[in-house]
Amino acid sequence: MPIKIQSDLPAKEILEQENIFVMDENRAMHQDIRPISIAILNLMPLKEETELQILRSLSNTPIQVDVTFLMVSSHESTHTSMSHLNKFYQTFGEVKNQNFDGFIITGAPVEQMPFEEVDYWEELCEIMEWSKSHVTSTLHLCWGAQAALYYHYGIEKRPLDHKMFGVFAHKVMNRRVPLVRGFDDIFYAPHSRHTEIRREDIEAHSDLKILAESEAAGVFLVISDDGKQIYVMGHPEYDRFTLDKEYRRDKDKGLPIELPVNYYPNDNDEEKPLLQWRSHGNLMYYNYLNYYVYQTTPYDFIHTEQIYKDRK
């Protein structure tokens, strides 16, 4: 899939080295096709790493995707340079009058804090409310999924006895739903979190459907009946070494951390981690873009004169 991004975004060179088709604004303007507009609210501290992971995950359909990166204005990022943020990101205030075909809200390393104590919680609530009327379908990842389930349904996250950390096997629960179309009965996905959303709390809401779960890691994939809200409790976008970096970071800091489950061959952290989740992760993003964004959004919703004026 051609991903439309700014020509000097650092992730562009890496994606091109991986033979992923990316294009800049000039080339995109000369393609007479129907693009879809995806906004990504990046709440992760290492924003450039997350950009690369999500863009890589969005790269497996023939649809042209116009990507807009968003940041919250009520939190100061200390792990990404201001020059990068100023050049490649917009604030919610700059886009709130626009419509987007799809929207992705990432995770954030604040899961052990009460939602209301997160410094950008009020702004995030405003964004989540806005998404109900300005976005065709929103995909929430990890803490972003927990935050959205709490905001939309009042479902509390629960603390775990130990960090859910590693690559876990999941079972598809309802393969009639297009989001898991093409999935094997058992698939793998990474988790890295200290809290969980419990099955019984989700089942208390009749308009939510569990699509996949793990005996060890719990609920993984949840969707609303109308497909406008999708909740992913793990990180299918992670690359091969993301868990490795987290493990070594915490180990170097002297924090209590165990080896990621089912990750290193023979549980030997000197060996190259196994990449076991890429195909199903890509398939999930493909199904999301195809069935819940591209085939659902009316053509006129994408190509309104006002949207293009707002983007200038």
Establish how many alpha carbons lie within 13 A of residue 288's alpha carbon, considering only the half-sphere containing its beta carbon: 32
Is 117 catalytic? The answer is: no
Rounded alpha-carbon distances, angstroms, from residue 270 to 27, 118, 167, 239, 277: 44, 36, 17, 18, 20
Burial class (CB in 10 A: 0-12, 13-18, 19+), 118: buried
| 3-state SS, one letter per residue, for 120-149 | CHHHHHHHHHHHHHHEEEEEEECHHHHHHH
What does the alpha-carbon distance between residue 119 and residue 231 come to, in Å, rounded to a whole number? Answer: 22
Is 237 catalytic? The answer is: yes
Cross-strand partners of 210: 222
Judge whether 3 and 20 are in contact, CB under 8 Å.
yes
Q: Which two tokens stand for residue 225?
A: 């009946």
Out of 51, 111, 140, 142, pick the active-site residue.
Answer: 142
Sign of the alpha-carbon dihedral angle for 124, 130, 131, 132: positive
Picking from 152, 91, 107, the residue whose alpha carbon sits closest to that of residue 125 is: 152
The C-alpha angle 87, 88, 91, rounded to 5 degrees, equals 100
Establish how many alpha carbons lie within 13 A of residue 79's alpha carbon, considering only the half-sphere containing its beta carbon: 11
CA 178 to chain centre: 18
Out of 140, 152, 235, 280, pick the active-site residue.
Answer: 235
Residue type at 78? T
Out of 48, 51, 237, 246, pick the active-site residue.
Answer: 237
Is 235 catalytic? The answer is: yes
Please identify every residue annotated as catalytic: 142, 235, 237
